[in-house]
Amino acid sequence: MPQITVDYSASLGDAFDRQGFAVALHTMVVETAAAKPEACKCRFRVVHDIVVGADTAGHELVHVTLALLPGRSAEVKTALTSRTLELVRAHVKPIEGAALHASAEVRDLEPSYEKFVD
């Protein structure tokens, strides 16, 4: 915990500093949600097909899901999403002629969540 998933457009490959984003995001999550640095895990998934409305071109996507153990207040969750979007803006270079659609959400992990580290 937290389990962080970042879906992003394949065409952002060189424009998205994923490693820098992950390190900055982990630091922010520790400060905002009292997580432990070693507990932050971030995975990136490339999205090849983006359709916005009827458009199949001219759009880029970054969506970040932060899954945390239950107990954070609505204010903390709102702060996490806002600060996450600030970090997306800071770590994704604009692509000329393309609109960046960035979003973030925080959700609680289910009670069945378990983990181990070997």
Tell me which residue of 48, 85, 47, 91 sits closest to 64, measured CA to CA.
85
Whole-angstrom distance, CA of residue 27 vs CA of residue 22: 9
Q: For the domain that residue 68 is a member of, what is the CATH number? A: 3.30.429.10
The answer to whether residue 95 sits within a structural domain is yes
The model's pTM is 0.94
Q: Give the total number of structural domains in the chain.
A: 1
Q: How do residues 29-49 score in pLDDT, each as one tens digit?
A: 999 999 999 999 999 999 999
The answer to whether residue 102 sits within a structural domain is yes
Distances (CA, A) of 28 to 8, 14, 92: 20, 23, 17
The answer to whether residue 71 sits within a structural domain is yes
The answer to whether residue 117 sits within a structural domain is no
Domain residue limits at 12 = 3-108
Distances (CA, A) of 35 to 42, 70, 106: 13, 12, 14
pLDDT of res. 5: 98
Whole-angstrom distance, CA of residue 51 vs CA of residue 60: 9
